[in-house]
Amino acid sequence: MSTVPILRVARPSDNLEALLQFYQRGLGLALLYRFEDHDGFDGIMLGHEQAPYHFEFTRARGHVAGRAPTPDNLLVFYFADAEDWKAAVRRMRGAGFEPVAAFNPYWDRAGVTFEDPDGYRVVFQQAAWTR
């Protein structure tokens, strides 16, 4: 493969504004795009301009998305640099989001877990990704 494909992680939500606060203010992602009433869907896309991934959250008008099915639905961000990891944790806490105990205790050994407004979890892992 000559290029790395771009990854979009997409999921529904009932509260786009609360997710915007969590992922933009807490995670430090940029709002890349926003749309309203696109065939009955509203949505936001967040990420980093140069990253090969972004997150899309949509709300279908007249439909209830509900909460995460389990506390083990995770997005994991690896921070090789301890100072970058500490800064990310401080930013999340400074935005008003407190850590939660991980469902799998593995993530508590070198990481911190936060729960978004829909019950999905984000782990900040202080480790290098080596695979």
Q: Does the domain made of 74-125 have the CATH classification 3.40.50.880?
A: no
Residue 98's alpha-carbon distances to 32, 54, 94, in angstroms, are 25, 23, 9
Q: How does residue 130 score in pLDDT terms, banded at 50, 70 and 90?
A: confident
Number of H helices, E strands in the chain: 3, 7
What is the rounded average pLDDT of the residues 77-93?
97
pTM score of the predicted model:
0.93
| Cα 58 to Cα 45: distance, rounded to the nearest angstrom | 9
Q: Does the domain made of 7-60 have the CATH classification 3.10.180.10?
A: yes
Q: Where in the chain is the domain with CATH 3.10.180.10?
A: 7-60, 74-125
Q: Report pLDDT digits (tens) over 114-125.
A: 999 999 999 999
Q: Report pLDDT digits (tens) over 14-56.
A: 999 999 999 999 999 999 999 999 999 999 999 998 899 999 9
What confidence score (pLDDT) does residue 3 get? 82
